[in-house]
A = this chain, B = another copy of it.
Amino acid sequence: MADCISYNKMIMKKIYKIVLLLLVSSCLYSQNNTPKLILTFEDVQTIRESLGKVPLFDHSLTEAKRKVDEVLNVEIVVPIPKDAGGGYTHEKHKQNYNEMFLAGIIYQFTQESKYAEFVKVMLTEYAKLYPTLGKHPQGKKQTPGRLFWQTLNESVFLLHTSQAYDCVYNYLSGNEREFIEKNLFYPITKFFLAECTHDFDKIHNHGTWMTSAVGMAGFVLNDKSLVNKSLYGSKEDGKTGFLSQLDNLFSPDGYYTEGGYYARYALWPFFIYTEVLNNNKPELDIYNYRDGILRKALYSALQVTSSDGRFIPVNDAIKEKNWLTPELIYGVNFIYSNCGENKELLSLAMLQESVSLNIAGLNVAKALADKENIKPFIRRSIQFSDGPKGDWGGVSILRSGSLDDMMTLFFKHGSHGLSHGHYDKLSYCFYDQNREILQDYGAARFLNTEQKFGGRYLPENKTFAKQTVAHNTLVVDGKSQYNGKQDKSQANHSQNYLFNIDDPEFQYASAKENNAYKGVKMQRTLCMINQDQSKKGLVLDIYRVEADDKHQYDMPFYYLGHLISTSFEYKAFTETKSLMGSQNGYQHLWKEAVGTTNKCPQVTWINGSRFYSITSNAFPEQEVLLTRIGGSDPNYNLRNESGFMLRRNDSSTIFVNIIEPHGIFDPKVEFTSGSYSSIENIDVIYNNSNYTIIEVVKKDLTKILIQLANNNSDYKKEHVVSCKGKTYSWLGPISLIN
Complex Cα spacing A505 to B94, Å: 34
Do the beta carbons of B448 and A668 come within 8 Å of each other? no
From B326, B449, B575, B633, contact of A665 by CB (8 A)? B449
Whether A669 touches B639, Cβ cut-off 8 Å, given contacts A574-B632, A577-B576, is no
Q: Which of A541-597 contact B (CB under 8 A)?
A: 562-565, 572, 574-579, 590, 593
Q: Which of A663-706 contact B (CB under 8 A)?
A: 665, 667-673, 675-676
From B446, B450, B639, B672, contact of A449 by CB (8 A)? B672
A145 beta carbon closer than 8 Å to chain B: no
Beta-carbon nearest neighbor of A667 in chain B: B320
A732 beta carbon closer than 8 Å to chain B: no
Beta-carbon nearest neighbor of A604 in chain B: B451
B residues in contact with A451, CB < 8 Å = 564-565, 604, 675-676
From B318, B576, B671, contact of A448 by CB (8 A)? B671
Complex Cα spacing A579 to B94, Å: 46
Do the beta carbons of A672 and B447 come within 8 Å of each other? yes
In the complex, per-residue mask of A625-662: 1 if CB is within 8 Å of any chain B CB, else 0 = 00010011111100110100000000000000000000
Q: How far is the CB of A178 from chain B (nearest CB, A)?
A: 34
Number of copies: 2
Complex Cα spacing A41 to B565, Å: 50
Whether A675 touches B449, Cβ cut-off 8 Å, given contacts A578-B575, A632-B574, is yes
Most buried by B among A449, A450, A564, A676: A449
A218 beta carbon closer than 8 Å to chain B: no
Do the beta carbons of A672 and B86 come within 8 Å of each other? yes
Do the beta carbons of B455 and A672 come within 8 Å of each other? yes
Whether A320 touches B668, Cβ cut-off 8 Å, given contacts A576-B577, A576-B578, A632-B575, is yes
Whether A450 touches B321, Cβ cut-off 8 Å, given contacts A572-B634, A577-B590, A590-B577, is no
A308 beta carbon closer than 8 Å to chain B: no
B residues in contact with A113, CB < 8 Å = none
From B452, B575, B631, contact of A575 by CB (8 A)? B631
From B449, B574, B672, contact of A606 by CB (8 A)? B449
Do the beta carbons of A672 and B590 come within 8 Å of each other? no
Q: Which of A291-330 contact B (CB under 8 A)?
A: 318, 320-322, 324-326
A283 beta carbon closer than 8 Å to chain B: no
A487 beta carbon closer than 8 Å to chain B: no
20 examples of A-B residue contacts, CB within 8 angstroms: A86-B672, A86-B673, A91-B672, A321-B668, A322-B668, A326-B669, A448-B672, A449-B672, A450-B675, A451-B565, A451-B676, A452-B564, A455-B672, A562-B639, A563-B636, A572-B635, A574-B634, A575-B579, A576-B579, A577-B577
